[in-house]
């Protein structure tokens, strides 16, 4: 174990998906010697060669720098994790098929196989998003099988698109440690984690040291709050549509109150991705198991409001297309669940595109980064490389993911390729005035029609 709090450590990172790969390279950047363990051999080889299997701004540079330093390596065999002082568990916890609950198969399998190579004095650190109670259960397994080893829970709050900055400069550090969780271990988990994050701690990053249950809940509570904030403004958008009010001005006005804040008050198509939707559902499922389901029934409404926005978008498209989608040409700009990502998991944009197509429209989808994933998983959708190709002869253009290059389209020249200048701004991201001045009919969720 490190003698002083700046000494580099030997670390392993189990699971090199989005979270794990970024964590592993970032820890090497902080000076540690890191081995990333990834069971998918092709993925491990790709990362070892400096090729990033997903789109994340700034990550490829970080990965190459860490590989070049000689401090980062990847392997597929858990045996390579042997001897590390700290083992981070970063595997996925997707939604269970046909249920709300989280699927813990990967966390359990990773921990079980890690235990086989774990030594006394070593620390297992869970980073995956798990239902409250998981850490205590895993800590018992670790203690029973490897006396002298310990487990901590250290949730991650990184956002796709900002993953590198969020990992190296997080808003806060949260440690769920054994000493505050009724577990008796020889390892001082707080001290070890302070050594791992020495540079981040030295930056003055706020730190919360707590028990396992609180650490686990911080993560799901944070994502639930963010989802609630988005659905709140989208509920206001529904009311704005009913009253003729304007949700963007409403958000600006209430956002000036710094108790409320303007961030995460962008009304539109709502939230998607691999985290917010599944995390609020898993949280509800866990509350039910604990007999506290009433506390989270509001999250069901948060989920409902969110899903209704997608249906409303399809209705709005039908409305502007003279009440029929049959045979209409629709351009869909954006397929990723948000800009600066190629992630299409539970993407609101693709959900809308698919519904339009099922209802008889002729849909063309474009996205700067996500098309390979769309082609792989949504082969029924017609994909094209540029917004101009998507919009050729279109009866309506739908902006569904607010990539910068779409926000910056010149409505005048872009208008030359369409059949009818109708734009539906699913993210309230376009300069309405500019589009209207160029002769477009502009419609958006929660906005006044003029």
The contact set with ligand UGA (CB under 6 A) reads 129, 156-160, 223, 226, 230, 264-266, 268, 270-273, 275-276, 279, 337-338
Nearer to ligand UGA, 8 or 155 (CB): 155
- Closest approach of ligand UGA to the CB of residue 166, in Å: 7
Say if residues 360 and 293 touch (Cβ distance below 8 Å). no
Place of tokens 């502009």: 442
Least distance (Å) from ligand UGA to the CB of residue 273? Answer: 4
CB of 8 to ligand UGA, least distance (A): 26
Kindly list the distances between the CA atom of residue 330 and the CA atoms of 40, 265, 387, 402, 450, in Å, as whole numbers in the listed order.
Answer: 38, 28, 11, 17, 22
Q: Which residues, including other chains, have CB under 8 Å from residue 88's CB and lie 6 or more apart?
A: 11, 12, 13, 14, 20, 23, 24, 27, 125, 126, 127, 154
Angstrom distance (rounded) from CA 225 to CA 276: 10
Residues 6+ apart with CB under 8 A from 411: 423, 434, 435, 437, 438, 440
Pairwise CA distance, residues 346 & 261, whole Å: 27
Structure tokens at 153: 């829970």
* Contact in structure between 398 and 317 (CB atoms under 8 Å): yes
Least separation, in Å, of the C-beta of 413 and ligand UGA?
A: 27
Q: Which is nearer to ligand UGA, 76 or 224 (CB)?
A: 224
**8/131 with CB nearer ligand UGA:** 131
- Helix axes of 18-29 and 59-68: crossing angle, nearest 10 degrees: 50
Task: For residue 414, report the phi and psi dihedrals to the nearest 5 degrees.
Answer: -60, -35
10 or 345: CB nearest ligand UGA: 345
Tell me how long the chain is: 450
- From the list 240, 275, 321, 383, the catalytic residue is 275
Q: Closest separation between CB of residue 237 and ligand UGA, Å?
A: 11
Residue 171 C-beta: closest distance to ligand UGA, Å? 9
Sheet of 173-176, strands arranged across:
72-75, 33-37, 10-14, 86-89, 123-126, 150-153, 173-176, 207-210
Cα angle: 117, vertex 184, 34; to 5 degrees: 35
Minimum CB separation of residue 307 from ligand UGA in Å reads 13
Q: Is 97 exposed, middle or buried (0-12, 13-18, 19+ CB in 10 A)?
A: exposed
Least spacing, CB of residue 164 vs ligand UGA, in Å:
13
C-alpha dihedral over 403, 391, 436, 357, to 10 degrees?
-80
**Judged by CB, which is closer to ligand UGA: 159, or 207?**
159
Cβ-based nearer residue to ligand UGA, 276 or 356: 276
Say if residues 317 and 353 touch (Cβ distance below 8 Å): no
Helix ranges (H only) for 321-366 are 348-358
Supply the minimum distance, in Å, between the C-beta of residue 156 and ligand UGA.
6
DSSP state of 78: G
Strand partners, 397: 331, 423
Instruction: Report the candidate in 181, 194, 119 with the shortest Cα–Cα distance to residue 149.
Output: 119
Residue 16 annotated as catalytic: no
Helix (H/G/I), strand (E/B), else coil: 314:
helix
Closer residue to ligand UGA, CB minimum distance, 421 or 447: 447
Residues recognised as catalytic? 275
């Amino acid at each position: 174990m490190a003698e002083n709090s700046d000494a580099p450590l030997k670390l392993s990172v189990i699971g090199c998906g989005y979270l794990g790969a970024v964590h592993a390279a970032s820890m090497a950047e902080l000076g540690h010697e890191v081995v990333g363990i990834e069971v998918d051999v092709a993925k491990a080889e790709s990362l070892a060669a400096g090729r990033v299997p997903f789109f994340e701004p700034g990550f490829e540079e970080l990965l190459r720098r860490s590989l070049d330093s000689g401090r980062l390596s990847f392997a597929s065999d858990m045996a390579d994790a042997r001897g590390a002082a700290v083992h981070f568990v970063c595997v996925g916890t997707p939604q269970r098929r046909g249920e709300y609950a989280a699927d813990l198969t990967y966390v359990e399998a990773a921990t079980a196989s890690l235990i086989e190579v774990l030594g006394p004095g070593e620390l297992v650190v869970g980073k995956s998003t798990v239902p409250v109670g998981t850490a205590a259960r895993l800590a018992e397994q670790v203690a029973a099988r490897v006396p002298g080893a310990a487990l901590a829970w250290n949730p991650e709050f990184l956002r796709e698109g900002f993953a590198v900055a969020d990992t190296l400069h997080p808003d806060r550090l949260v440690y769920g440690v054994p000493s505050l969780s009724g577990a008796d271990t020889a390892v001082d988990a707080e001290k070890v984690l302070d050594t791992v994050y020495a540079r981040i701690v030295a930056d003055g990053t706020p730190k919360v040291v707590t028990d396992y249950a609180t650490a686990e809940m911080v993560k799901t509570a944070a994502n639930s709050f963010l989802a609630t904030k988005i659905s709140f403004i989208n509920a206001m958008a529904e009311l704005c549509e009913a009253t003729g009010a304007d949700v963007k001005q409403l958000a600006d006005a209430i956002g000036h109150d710094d108790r409320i804040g303007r961030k995460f008050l962008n009304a539109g198509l709502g939230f998607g991705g691999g985290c917010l939707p599944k995390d609020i559902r898993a949280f509800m499922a866990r509350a039910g198991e604990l007999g506290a389901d009433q506390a989270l029934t509001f999250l069901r409404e948060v989920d409902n409001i969110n899903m209704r926005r997608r249906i409303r978008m399809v209705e709005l498209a039908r409305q502007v297309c003279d009440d029929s989608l049959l045979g209409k040409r629709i351009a869909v700009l954006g397929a990723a669940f948000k800009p600066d990502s190629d992630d299409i998991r539970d993407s609101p944009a693709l959900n809308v595109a698919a519904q339009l197509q099922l209802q008889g429209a002729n849909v063309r989808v474009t996205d700067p980064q996500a098309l390979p994933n769309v082609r792989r998983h949504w082969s029924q959708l017609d994909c094209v490389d540029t917004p101009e190709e998507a919009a050729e002869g279109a009866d309506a253009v739908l902006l569904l993911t607010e990539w910068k290059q779409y926000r910056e389209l010149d409505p005048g020249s872009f208008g030359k390729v369409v059949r009818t200048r109708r734009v539906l701004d699913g993210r309230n991201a376009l300069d309405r005035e500019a589009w209207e001045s160029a002769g477009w009919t502009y419609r958006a969720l929660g906005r006044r029609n003029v």
